[in-house]
Structure 1
Amino acid sequence: MCRSTITISQPTLIPTSNFFEASLIRRRELVRRMCRSQWPFNSTSKAFNFPSLCNRRNSPVLGIFRSRCLFHLRTFFPLTMATRLQYENNCEIGVFSKLTNAYCLVAIGGSENFYSTFEAELAHVIPVVKTSISGTRIIGRLCAGNKNGLLLPHNTTDQELQHLRNSLPDSVVVQRIDERLSALGNCIACNDHVALTHPDLDKETEEMIADVLGVEVFRQTVAGNILVGSYCAFSNRGGLVHPHTSIEDLDELSTLLQVPLVAGTVNRGSEVIAAGLTVNDWTAFCGSDTTATELSVIESVFKLREAQPSAIVNEMRNSLIDSYI
């Protein structure tokens, strides 16, 4: 009987040092091949496998792409979408924090875990600042802001004002305003382009909101509630509003804001959206009582999944190829 021997050749891994010595044409081909076949994704589900990027020591991609990939992915596309947490057994985390695309404010005191959760997710992108406002910890209900500015009530102390101006980026204008309705977070809801305000705010306050935050201002109600800052939360990508908001009101608000809106709840049925949720364009934090269904709605309406690495892999591949050739 004649036996035939089949030899299976193993793919040859090219050391990083040799890679850089290859010709320009060969480099381009190798980089494209690596991105197609050795990118750290599950081949079946195409799911992103971030630990493999750091652990595959024999991969020629590692030596070339590791530092740049880590920088891009952790800086511009944080790996979490929505995080559930609580402040001293209180699920109204929006009362004790304020999140924008340029900074995050967290109330002083309380458990260190609360601050650490924000710091772990955001510190590599934006500053996370511990503070009080007017000597209290309910900072999310007392201030209003976006990437352009931060508005504080008239009873904010000089020390708090100076601390915030020193801690936030220079591009953020921090302004204390003289307004009778001093719980600005309850009276103002805004993103980087539009602000909805309490119908009874002073005209001077309305002008200051437009100047400091760089937004168009509209006096509105949400489902008949004048505290617009409490009953809705929105970013530049979407928004969540009071569950009793009518379809007509949803359409009107969506037209004003130029973002898709959904009526929903947080914290297992709570209608006070902004008290249980704080959100920006790429991540969200909500109370620990928020159900899986509510969390799914939040991630969907704010398009948080689209900000994840698995959604931008093709663009990343092309940019990395261009960067290293």
Structure 2
Amino acid sequence: MANRLTFTDHGEIDHGEIGLICNLTNTYCLVGSGGSENFYSSIEAEFEDVIPIIKTSIGGSSSVGRYCIGNKNGLLLPHITTHEELQHIRRSLPDGVVVALIENGLTSYGEFIACNDHMALAHADLRWEFKELITDVLGVEVFMPEYYSFFSGTYFALSNIGGLIHPNASKRVLDELSAALEVPVEYGTVNRGSAALAPGMAVNDWTAFCGSSSTRAELRVIDRVFKLREP
């Protein structure tokens, strides 16, 4: 089921933007350094002895969820990643997870891409060679909806089970994304009405972490869409 978390009450990141400091997959969880003890203990209670929890930074920032994109197959890191960070992440990931450093271009990949273990949804303006890199490293098909050119990963959350999109998207967009991704997509918000779903939450196939201001009604929608209450 979905859990409410607070990263920290001070610092560079708003305490409710859990998705900015957490990249959660079915095989590993990257979390930014600098959080509170309660934050890390809550994540450890959920994943200890299940998947590795990798405390790190990217380019010296705690915003690991903003800067990287990953799934069970691989992890893409931006060029601002330091050598020490890259080596630490590589050593900590499970065997078989491919890690690739993107040499140039964007850094905030979480704002332009949403992915699960089978499909990536990306902004239509991303370079073609980057689309090939996503396919090679993450092992997924890349869908770039030209009719939805303003798509942003900021307003979408995705797992292998379902997807959540901001309430202002049209019904046509919702239906076509559901068909393309082959998972049900529904409307939702997080952090008391925020449409910024990716910054406000992190989700895999059995749990989700949301900002501490998320309401019970929002958590119920998240539980239903991602089937988090089901075994």
Task: Tell me the TM-score normalized by structure 1.
Answer: 0.68
Cα contact 2:121–2:144 (8 A) shared by 1? yes
Q: Counterpart in 2 of 1:85? A: 5
Distance 1:133 1:195, change over 3 A: same
1:225 deviates by 3.3
Counterpart pick for 1:151 among 76, 83, 88: 76
1:182 deviates by 1.5
User: What are the equivalent positions in structure 2 for 1:101-140 lying under 5 Å apart?
Assistant: 101-140=26-65
1:223 deviates by 6.8
Distance 1:176 1:222, change over 3 A: farther
Deviations 1:192-233 (A, max 9, x none): 000011222121111010010000001137976332x21101
Letter in 1 for 2:72: K
> Larger strand proportion, structure 1 or 2?
2
* Between 196-205 and 97-106, the greater mean CA deviation after superposition: 196-205
Distance in 2 between residues matched to 1:224 and 1:196, nearest whole Å: 11
> Larger helix proportion, structure 1 or 2?
1
Counterpart pick for 1:278 among 181, 202, 220: 202
SS in 1 for 2:178: helix
SS in 2 for 1:297: helix
Q: Counterpart in 2 of 1:239? A: 163
Q: Counterpart in 2 of 1:39? A: none
Q: Counterpart in 2 of 1:217? A: 142
Counterpart pick for 2:97 among 148, 153, 172: 172
Q: Counterpart in 2 of 1:194? A: 119
Task: Tell me the TM-score normalized by structure 2.
Answer: 0.94
User: What are the equivalent positions in structure 2 for 1:4-153 lying under 5 Å apart?
Assistant: 81-89=1-9, 90-153=15-78
SS in 2 for 1:305: coil
For the pair 1:301 / 2:221, whether they are aligned, the reply is no
Q: Which runs of 5+ in 1 are unaligned?
A: 1-80, 308-325
Distance 1:276 1:223, change over 3 A: farther
* Structure with more contact order per residue of length (Cα contacts < 8 Å, sep ≥ 6): 2
Deviations 1:21-68 (A, max 9, x none): xxxxxxxxxxxxxxxxxxxxxxxxxxxxxxxxxxxxxxxxxxxxxxxx
Cα contact 1:129–1:167 (8 A) shared by 2? yes
How many residues get paired? 226
Q: Counterpart in 2 of 1:260? A: 184
Cα contact 1:232–1:240 (8 A) shared by 2? yes
Q: Which runs of 5+ in 2 are unaligned?
A: 10-14
Q: In percent, how many aligned pairs have the same letter?
A: 59
